[in-house]
Structure formats: C-alpha cells, structure tokens
Structure 1
Amino acid sequence: MALAHNLGFPRIGADRELKKALEAHWHGELDEAGLRAVGRELRATHWQLQQEAGIELLPVGDFAWYDQVLTHSLMFGVIPQRFRPQHGAPSLDTLFSMARGTAADRCCGGAHAQEMTKWFDSNYHYLVPEFSVDQQFQLSWPQLFEEVDEALALGHQIKPVIIGPLTYLWLGKVKGAGAEAFDKLELLERLLPVYGEILQRLAEQGVQWLQIDEPILALDLPQAWKSAFERAYNLLQWSPLKKLLTTYFAGLEDNLGLAAGLPVDGLHIDLVRAPEQYPQILDRLPAYKVLSLGVVDGRNIWRSDLDQLLPLLQDAQQRLGERLWLAPSCSLLHCPVDLAREPQLDTELRSWLAFAVQKCAEVALLATALKQPQDADVQTALAASRAARLSRRLSPRIHKPQVQARLAAISARDTQRQSPFAQRIVQQRALLQLPPLPTTSIGSFPQTAAIRQARQAFKQGKLSAAEYAEAMQGQIRHAVQVQERLGLDVLVHGEAERNDMVEYFAEQLDGYAFTRFGWVQSYGSRCVKPAIIYGDISRPKAMTLEWITFAQSCTDKIIKGMLTGPVTMLMWSFARDDISREQQAQQLALAIRDEVLELEAAGIKIIQIDEAAFREGMPLRHAQQSAYLAWASAAFRLCASGVGDATQIHTHMCYSEFNAVLDSIAAMDADVITIETSRSDMQLLKAFEAFDYPNDIGPGVYDIHSPRVPDSAEMLKLLRKAVQLIPAERLWVNPDCGLKTRGWPETEAALLNMVAAAKQLRAELA
C-alpha cells in the first residue's frame, strides 16, 4: 500500500537553535564540539518529529551547516583555491570561510565569499559552486555518511538525500582562466566517479533507497543537458541502491518522457505546482517503478484539501498498488516547523494552517486513508479538514468590498509616470544637486542589541509607545550622524524601528496575520518569519511617514524614504491560495501607493521601493514567464507612478540571476536601480551593457553578507569595471544590500572605504 515519506525537513530548529549555535560559534562563544552537538540533537529531534507524525521513510542529508549546495561542494572537493586548507582535509572552518569570506588577518589580505543566489524560485539562498577548467573531484567531506550512521543507530528507516550530478553542475559557474570558452557540462565525466563512490559507501552502510534531487528537470533544458541525463544515469545504474529521482517546483512537461525513462527505481513529481502531470506520467512510467506523488504543498502553510486529494490518490492506488508513494511536493525546508507552537493565533485562522510537522501528518493521514478508509481517526481528520475549508471560504474577514472596488477602478494611467525618464532625470538632477557617482546605502543599518531589547520591552509592555519612539529616534539620529560623518551623499534613516522589511509593513496592513515561531531559513543563520496573507489587503494609516520625516529633520542632506515593494511583500509572505498572485500584488501595490504619495507630500525627494524578490517570483518555465513579468512590473509601476517627475523613485534587487529579465526590470521604470554585483565581480553588469539599460544604476561594490571589510582599492577596482560598462553619469555607488546583520565597526569601516573609492574615481574621471 501507499508509503508515506518526506523529501526534507526544516533544519534551523523550532527555536532557531542552529542559528543561535552558528552565531555563537562564529563569535568564539561555542567551540566546534559544542556546535556539532547542537547539530546532532537537532537531527535526532527532527527525525523523531517526522516519525511521530507518521512518516515511514525519513530523509537524511537534508541537514546543512550553511546550505545544502555548499555541503555538496565540500563533499565533491569543489573548494576554490583561496579557501583550500594548506594541510589536511577541509573542516567546518573551510565551509564557513567559503560562505562568509575570510578577514585580512586570516588569509593573505582576506578572501571574498563565494557568490550567493536564490534556489530556483524560492527565497532560500545557496552558495554557487565555483569550478575551474581543470576541476578535479574527490570525495572529501564525510557529513552524509556520518548522519546516515546516526539515523541508523537511532533505529530509523531512512532515505539519504543528495543533489543529482546534473543539477549540481547546472547550479555552478566556471571561473578563472579559460572559463568563458569552457562548457561546464564537460565536467560531468569527472564528477560521476565520485557519485559512484557515494552510492557504494551508502550501500555498504546498509542503505536501500537513495533520493537524488534533479529539480532542473522542471526547467527548459538544452538538448545537450537532456542527453547528459541519459548518459549519467546509465553509468550510475550499476549500484545496488534503489534510486528515487526527485523533481519539484514545476512540471516536467517536455522532460516527462526523459525522466520516466531514466534507469532509476522511482520518480517523484510535484502535483501542487503541476497537477496536470498525473495522468500523463501514468502513461509513460515503466511498470517496475515507484511513483511518488507530491500532494501536500511544501512551499506554503495552508491546510490541504483532503477531500479533493483522496479521489486522485484512490485512482493512483488502484493503478499502482505498492508502487505508490506519498510525500510533500518538495522539501519542507520552506515551511515553519510546528503549528502547535502558535496557540496565540486566532482559533479560526489556526484551523486553516499546517506547518512542517502537520504536513508530515497530512501525508501520513492520506496514506492511512488509502489503506483503512473507514478508520475512525481518518474520518475525524477528514471532517476537520472539511470544516476548516468551509470556515475559510465563508469567513467575512477574507473578502472586503472596498478593496475589490478599488481594484476594479485601476486604469492604465495609474501605472505610468507623467513623463519619460529622460525628461524626469533632468528635473531630478536639478533638484537634488548630487555629485557624480553619488554614494548611498541600501536602507538598513545594524540592528544592535539595544534596538532589539527596546523592541522586546515595548512588545512586553515594559516601554510605553512614547518611550519606544524616543529610543528609536535616538537610533535614527545616530545613524544619520554616522552617515554625515562618513560623507555619504544620500542618507537613510537606518530602519531601527523595523523587525523585518516585510513583517514591519505587514503588521500595519489589514489582511495579514503573524506567527511567533514561524521561522524559515533564508541562508546560513539568517532566518525570516513570513507573515500570512489571509484576506484582502488595505492600509489603514501611514506606515513610515513619522520615522522618515523625523530623520529628514535631523539633517540638511537628502533622506530616502524606504518601502518594500508589492512583489517582494507577496513573495516573502505566505500568500493566499484562493486568489491569484496578481490580484494580491495589486492590492499590495495600492496600499504602498498611498504611502508613496504621503511621503512625497511631506517633502521626501527620493523614495526607494525595494523589489528584492522580483526575479524569484518568476515561473521556471519560459512559456509562463512573460505573463508573470507583465503583472509584476505593472504592480511596481502602480505603487510608484503617482508621484511627480521631480520625485526620484529607486528600487533594489539582490542575489538573483537577472540577465533574462532585464527588459522587464526596465519596464518597472524606476529612476535608479541598486543591485547586487560584488560577489560576481561585476559580471552581471555585462548583461546591462548588452541590454543598454536606460535608467540610473547602482551596482553593489561590496558584499554585506560577509564580515570582512574590503579596502577602498578593492571597491575602486569594481567601480572601474562598472564605469567601462555603464556611463558614469548614470552610476551610483552603494553596498550590495542592507546592513542590518552587520556590526557598527565593520559597517563604518566599509562605508568609509566605499566613499573614498567613489571620491577617487570622481577625481580620475574629472
């Protein structure tokens, strides 16, 4: 009968135990033995949680100290020369250096961290593998095998998880001499023997099933990569291990026949993102293969519609028998751990939700329902699911007529600036009177212990609203004074009052709900707590006006108003699944538009509307991308286009691959875009040169996710590259991203070097 399994579980811990241990280790407060002990305890806890929820085959290898792609790079010996240990095997210190860079006193002037980008269309980040033309691979990191031993010693039935060879190569970049003329697919033959060693060692440990993740099968692949799949898996089929090939985030489409025909023992497909795959795969799947159906949403927090799923699964059970497996659509890495930790949530709303533990239970319940449909517990659970769905559909808090009426009144005029950029920029330069290569930061400054303590005290009622406002004003005043002293040209207020760039705004909008422990890993120790969009969205009152105008009163220099854009608000929240993403983005855009107009009316001359998630929201398949890009860019214009020509609109994007969407970024019609480029050594700007991006641009000149402080010469080198590709009169100078995760000493040192680099280049150009 149907087997319940899981593809991956959140690794950060219900109380962010891994985050706290990592940061304690980096600060020298926890030794490596202590850190490893935290990891062992978390893994044991998570396996137990899944087993108690009813999962029969547990994933092993989904744990990572920073991210799973980086773990694989160490496992394969893909360690850039600047990080390679002089003696012995790589260590955790090697891993963290690759992720965070090294300081000057540790490594010959310091080494910059590896490039980081988004994991497909999610807000999870991974470290991009760095290959060389002469890359050799060797099995050099035992973490997977150690964790298999741990799980087996605890008596669990397990399924190790690895990233497949084609996906791993696809995610990486070739760097160094000869890189531009080299096809990284040529590395496959060198990599496959290491996969063979992995399979052999796992078999020797007593493993029976192996999960091999190949999510690139949901992409539009070149023919050479399709052919490589057949070659690779034909070479790996000798292993005695049974292999489950796992795909997710989109449908297989033209790769369906390829995936079904590969010499593996099972195939997992995502029926949440692509339910149309189900009847198609049945016609192509060989009679000996397991079919794993991803029927519970691994990317969102809404309870599954069990009544809707059961008829499909009953049909699958009849056709497949014991070859039917059930699972979430993808790894539950993208979900919070446990809804049971949220008793403060409204009872009705809570009945609509399911976190990772509850999603495991849903998978197990569906498997039980196929085996024992009349079981009393099954019937009770189905009745509860039915009641929750009815409650959600009929709840008056969901649909708001005034929001719907405003949406219906949107016209094309609402999404267009008054004049083209070429006319606007003349007015803006005359008003702003900025020097060439103006310097600024992205928005946030360090969230110090004092800021966090004041926020916590305010939430606990230990500080009054007036006392909290006074404390935050003191922090804002300090941030402004630091920026003036460092010599930046356009200042920010530092966002001391903001807990998160999405949550802060969501808390002030109707239609959002919030958790206490709904943390999700973004990268490394960085966690976010996505808000939940449950109903129509509106803005009852101003959200930032008081703080921005206070900051402007502290200085004669220009203060940027700082907002989060509608697409990022949507993508970094748990969105509704009962209406389209486009409708939700429009609702958010109208709320933000109101804030933009109030800031302009208060005399704020520059308003930055961050769209960090613009690229990640794009569907993986080319055929579906144009529709998304059209409504996403229109949503940005809707929130930004009510202002006059002299008001300068900025936006910010980071840590994504933008080359394919530059025309849509241009269609957003922001006056200035700031964008991450330092980790890629300004390679991204070559795409802007080829596209001839029409508006101003601020390429990031240093990586804020690394604690190292680059000197001004390093930043000047990047700026010189930038000025060769983009006209100097259209260039701004800024970090890659916000600085909330950094400390003040490193922040001030880096910004001082950045200002010095800008002044040096101004002198050279003059």
Structure 2
Amino acid sequence: MSPDTPVNENKDQFRPDDHDNDHFLLTTVVGSYPKPKWLNRAKELYQDDDHEFDAEDWQEATDDAAQLITAEHERAGLDAVVDGEMRRNEMVEFFAHRIEGYEFNGPVKVWGHNYFDKPSVVSEVEYDDSWLVDEYEFTAAASDRPVKVPITGPYTLANWSFNEAYDDDEELAYDLADLVNEEIEKLVEAGARYIQIDEPALATTPDDHAIVGEALERIVADIPEEVRIGLHVCYGDYSRIYPEILEFPVDEFDLELANGDYEQLDVFKDPAFTKDLALGVTDAHVAEVESVEQIEENIEKGLEVVPPEQLVVSPDCGVKLLPREIAYGKMANMVEAARNVEAALDAGELDVERGAPTPADD
C-alpha cells in the first residue's frame, strides 16, 4: 500500500462473522510462543546421530506442535492466529539458513544464557526456495481463523549479521528486501492476507529509519491493497523514529509499550498517529498473568493515541521465553479484556476523546 492509503481499509476482513460487539479490536500475537517440552526433546533426538529419530519423525513432531499451538491460540479466542513459530529457532538464524549467501560460524551470546548462531554474509544474497509457504499453508489448513505470517525484516537480517560481502549494511538490506518481496508474493499467492515484518533493530539504531522505509517500499512493491502489512518494532527509543515512520508503506505498527509501563506513549500523540496501532498490552518479559482489569486499562491507553477503529491488541513481543501456561493466560485474558472494552465502547461508557494533535508534515 502507499503512505496515502486510508487506514483500516483491510482490517475488517479479520472480524469474525459472529462477533458480538459493534466495535472490533483485532486481537493477535506477535509471533513466537513457548514450545512444548516434548518438542525440545524431539529436537535433541533428531540432532543425535546415534538415534534413529529421523527427518520424517522430526517433521511429524513439528507438525503436531504447530497444530497444538494454533489450537491453543484459537482456544484463547485470538482473531488472527500464528503457529507459534514451532518450526523456527531464532528470528535471524532461521531465515539465514534459507538464503543463499549466508554462512554460520558458531553461537554468539546475546543475553543471559541465551545464544544464537550469528551468521555471516559472505556473498551476494539470493532467493532459492520459499521460506514460509509450507508453514503458512499448514497453519491455514489447521485453523478456520485468519493466519498472520511474521517475517524478520531485511534491516534486522542485515544489522544482526556479520557483513563480509557488501560495501555497507544499507546495500545488503536493500538486496534482502527484494528477497522478502519475492517471498511475500508467494505467500499472497498461497492465500496469506496478513504479513508482519519484524524489525526489532530499528528503534535501537538512530537515523536509519530512511533505510527501513526504502526497504519497505521494495517489500510491498506490487503487493495487493487487501493484504495487511504490519511492522513490529521493539526495544528502543521510539522518539528516534517518530513521526518519520508514518511515511512507511504499512497498515499497522506493532509496538512494545507495556514493558516500559507506557512511558513512551506520548511520543505517538503529536503529530497524530495516522496508521493502525497494534498496542502491546501484556508484558512478554514478566512471567505473571496480568488481570483482565489491568489489560483493559492498558488497552484504554491505546485509545489515548488512536480511535477504536485504528486499534489492534497484542502482547508486547513474542512470548517464547515464558512458561506455556503463563503465555496462554496472558492471551486468554487479553482477548477477554478486548471484548470488555469493545462492549464498553458500544455502551458509550468510555470517553475516547483525544486532543487535537498537529498532523504530520507531508
């Protein structure tokens, strides 16, 4: 879509036919979800050369896990589901294994006791086979709800890799954006209508929003208007990228704000937030289930920035590091809170009047 496309034009396609309230706050997840413990054990067996657990067994295990977590998202009541990224390991590593031009040198410590196999770009990146179409088609067949497809964005794929082949990360990011565009075209052909580009590196690196904007222009080139494109950003100072991000050709911005107790909320009030806001209303870093009442209060903070028709509800980030029962409790309470806020809006019980912030400069 272009920056001038009206917001919400493609949001109502995700409203369930039997939705009870006149208002609709789309509920979804960012992407990752805790893996069942037995899946981790199955991976150990698959990676053990002395064990007879083979590729076919591993395929069956990941299929079972994906179906289980998709059903868990449905049980929680989410409007748009994900398979919890059961087939993925780490958000850069997964895609780098599928892109020609990357090599791996061994694990790098990222935080605490967590490591990831940080790749190097050693030659010009090229597209080979599809990365996510099989994953999408399996999830879509396992659910009667809309399926969202998260993809790590080209800026993060470039920024979180060692660049040994390109003059700079900007050139690398643009080539990667062309590959992401090719993958999205295949996903759309397979039926996907909700694509989320994950760019956690954006708000941590000053002054590179123009690179991300150009990369997004390449990503959405020739993508039909009815396909909803979201951008997930987390971990950083949003004042570095706002209001410039309003020029990005996306429908929604998915933002981590609950973890910072909404201290950065005011950043998005002036100039006016002209896109859809997918507001993080549960903290993905705290292993406690927020009450329905607390999440309702968090959702109402989003109404200080955008009207209800521009608001989407999600957790802050992927929840894969939480205990599974905690992750589920957060999702179920989040959906209940969203439905309660919708009912209150229907009844005129919420004052959603915001100030009159100045529009962003053209």
TM-score by length of 1: 0.43
Deviation at 1:744, TM superposition (A): 1.2
Amino acid at match of 1:719: I
1:457 and 2:45 are equivalent in the alignment: yes
Residue number in structure 1 paired with 2:14: 432
1:720 and 2:300 are equivalent in the alignment: yes
Deviation at 1:719, TM superposition (A): 1.2
Structure 2's unaligned 5+ residue stretches are 347-362
Q: Quick one: which of 694, 699, 716 aligns to 2:279?
A: 699
Residue number in structure 1 paired with 2:190: 602
Equivalent position SS for 2:205: coil
Q: Give runs of aligned pairs for residues 90-109 of structure 1, distance below 5 A.
A: none
Measure, in 2, the Cα distance between the counterparts of 1:675 and 1:579. Answer: 31
Q: Give runs of aligned pairs for residues 75-86 of structure 1, distance below 5 A.
A: none
Deviation at 1:689, TM superposition (A): 1.2
Measure, in 2, the Cα distance between the counterparts of 1:756 and 1:549. Answer: 28
Structure 2 CA distance for partners of 1:459 and 1:587, relative to 1, 3 Å = farther
Whether the 8 Å CA contact 1:700–1:733 is kept in 2: the answer is yes
- Note the alpha carbon deviations across 1:111-144, whole angstroms, 9 max, x for none: xxxxxxxxxxxxxxxxxxxxxxxxxxxxxxxxxx
Q: Give runs of aligned pairs for residues 559-598 of structure 1, distance below 5 A.
A: 559-576=147-164, 579-598=167-186
Deviation at 1:762, TM superposition (A): 0.6
Deviation at 1:578, TM superposition (A): 5.0
1:502 and 2:106 are equivalent in the alignment: no
Residue number in structure 2 paired with 1:487: 77
Deviation at 1:559, TM superposition (A): 0.5
Q: Quick one: which of 132, 135, 138 aligns to 1:547?
A: 135
Equivalent position SS for 1:530: strand
Whether the 8 Å CA contact 1:476–1:496 is kept in 2: the answer is yes
Whether the 8 Å CA contact 2:14–2:26 is kept in 1: the answer is no
Amino acid at match of 2:87: E
Whether the 8 Å CA contact 1:560–1:605 is kept in 2: the answer is yes
Measure, in 2, the Cα distance between the counterparts of 1:612 and 1:730. Answer: 22
Q: Quick one: which of 315, 318, 322 aligns to 1:742?
A: 322
Measure, in 2, the Cα distance between the counterparts of 1:672 and 1:441. Answer: 14
Measure, in 2, the Cα distance between the counterparts of 1:642 and 1:565. Answer: 18
1:520 and 2:100 are equivalent in the alignment: no
Equivalent position SS for 2:270: helix
- Note the alpha carbon deviations across 1:203-249, whole angstroms, 9 max, x for none: xxxxxxxxxxxxxxxxxxxxxxxxxxxxxxxxxxxxxxxxxxxxxxx
Equivalent position SS for 1:690: coil
Amino acid at match of 1:586: Y
Measure, in 1, the Cα distance between the counterparts of 2:253 and 2:205. Answer: 18
Amino acid at match of 1:587: D
Q: Quick one: which of 683, 688, 698 aligns to 2:263?
A: 683
Equivalent position SS for 1:499: coil
Q: Give runs of aligned pairs for residues 190-229 of structure 1, distance below 5 A.
A: none
Measure, in 1, the Cα distance between the counterparts of 2:203 and 2:328. Answer: 30
Whether the 8 Å CA contact 2:3–2:248 is kept in 1: the answer is no
- Note the alpha carbon deviations across 1:180-215, whole angstroms, 9 max, x for none: xxxxxxxxxxxxxxxxxxxxxxxxxxxxxxxxxxxx
Residue number in structure 1 paired with 2:245: 665
Whether the 8 Å CA contact 1:615–1:661 is kept in 2: the answer is yes
Measure, in 2, the Cα distance between the counterparts of 1:429 and 1:504. Answer: 29
TM-score by length of 2: 0.88
Measure, in 1, the Cα distance between the counterparts of 2:225 and 2:291. Answer: 37
Amino acid at match of 2:11: R
Judging by fraction of residues, say which structure has more strand: 2
Residue number in structure 1 paired with 2:351: none
Q: Give runs of aligned pairs for residues 646-665 of structure 1, distance below 5 A.
A: 646-665=226-245
Deviation at 1:506, TM superposition (A): 0.3
- Note the alpha carbon deviations across 1:423-475, whole angstroms, 9 max, x for none: x732x135333561111110011033322233333344543332222111101
Percent identity of equivalent pairs: 26
Amino acid at match of 1:439: T
Q: Quick one: which of 5, 17, 29 aligns to 1:441?
A: 29
Measure, in 1, the Cα distance between the counterparts of 2:39 and 2:162. Answer: 27
Which is bigger in relative contact order (C-alpha 8 A, separation at least 6)? 2
Deviation at 1:563, TM superposition (A): 0.8
Structure 2 CA distance for partners of 1:671 and 1:550, relative to 1, 3 Å = same
1:421 and 2:11 are equivalent in the alignment: no
Amino acid at match of 1:665: I
Amino acid at match of 2:93: E
Whether the 8 Å CA contact 2:231–2:253 is kept in 1: the answer is yes
Deviation at 1:663, TM superposition (A): 2.8
Amino acid at match of 1:554: A
Give the superposed CA RMSD.
Answer: 1.8
Measure, in 1, the Cα distance between the counterparts of 2:345 and 2:91. Answer: 36
Amino acid at match of 1:659: S
Structure 2 CA distance for partners of 1:473 and 1:677, relative to 1, 3 Å = same
Measure, in 1, the Cα distance between the counterparts of 2:42 and 2:123. Answer: 31
Measure, in 1, the Cα distance between the counterparts of 2:123 and 2:53. Answer: 31
Residue number in structure 1 paired with 2:220: 640
1:469 and 2:59 are equivalent in the alignment: yes
Structure 1's unaligned 5+ residue stretches are 1-416, 619-624
Amino acid at match of 2:223: V
Deviation at 1:660, TM superposition (A): 2.6
Deviation at 1:754, TM superposition (A): 0.8
- Note the alpha carbon deviations across 1:706-725, whole angstroms, 9 max, x for none: 21221111111111122122
Judging by fraction of residues, say which structure has more helix: 1
Amino acid at match of 2:45: A
Measure, in 2, the Cα distance between the counterparts of 1:514 and 1:611. Answer: 21
Equivalent position SS for 2:163: coil
* Number of residues of Structure 1 aligned to a counterpart in Structure 2: 338
